[in-house]
Amino acid sequence: MALLENKVAFVTGAARGQGRNHAVRFAQQGADIIAFDLCASVSDDVGYPPSTPEDLAETARLVRAEGRDILTVVGDVRELAALQAAVDAGVERFGRLDVVVANAGISTWNRFWEMPEEQWITMIDINLNGVWRTLSASVPAMIQGGRGGSIIVVSSAAGIKAGPGASHYTSAKHGLVGLTKTAAIELGEFGIRVNSVHPGAVDTPMGQDANVGRLLARHPRYVDSYKWPLAGLNKCSVDDVTDAVLYLASDRARAITGSQMVLDLGITTI
């Protein structure tokens, strides 16, 4: 039997990259998908192209090609009402909600004392508050379903180890660890598991941000904080991350909650 047979998963940031890969791989394992993405730019500080409505449509095509259904919603994780509407529409369509992957996020770069307040606030509101909103919108439906479930919070290696030039990102991703652990305690009585995953560099548009190279060129000492001991790889693939997310979503991880799964090529060990 497929790992997620007849289950329903809500995936944010699903238009491309990790989110798309999670949605398609979940469909391969028997899940229907509620796919949520802004499909637009959020800030001029972001150094890579935004996702588009066409990207989200391609995610839908790929999920349907696997024989599963998908509901796509364009919305902003900075708006609780938009997330709630997506969950409500998904539960009305599919009749249940079993898995949540809080994946939506951005990456920008600057030293903390040189960072405009807007850059800091935008990062925290998307990467931390947006995950809180995602979980807040989703959990009541999971509890009401009475079947338990699994929530996977996509943090980062920066949620385990600080990185220069990214204090706002590091703060948000560290905050997700606290949210994950607290949610795991509070949702345990309902059979809902909550875990976080912590990728390092991943081969996605975000992982190809040209602003990283510019920052390191200006501050070469920072390079030492972005080295890893594992030879032969310089980035994780999206499948590397999805393998972990799929495992945590499935009943194979039924004994795991409140944990942090690190996929960082060893960067947090040095």
Q: How far apart are CA 35 and CA 86, in angstroms?
A: 9
Residue 133, Cβ density class (10 Å: 0-12 exposed, 13-18 middle, ≥19 buried): buried
Please identify which residue in the block is written with the tokens 């800091």. Answer: 120
Residue 81, Cβ density class (10 Å: 0-12 exposed, 13-18 middle, ≥19 buried): exposed
Mapping DSSP onto H, E and C, the string for 88-141 reads HHHHHHHCCCCEEEECCCCCCCECHHHCCHHHHHHHHHHHCHHHHHHHHHHHHH
Q: Which residues pair with 11 in a beta bridge?
A: 35, 101
Q: Is 222 a catalytic residue?
A: no
Of 169, 222, 226, 247, the catalytic one is 169
The full length of the chain comes to: 270
Give the residue numbers annotated as catalytic, written as ranges: 169
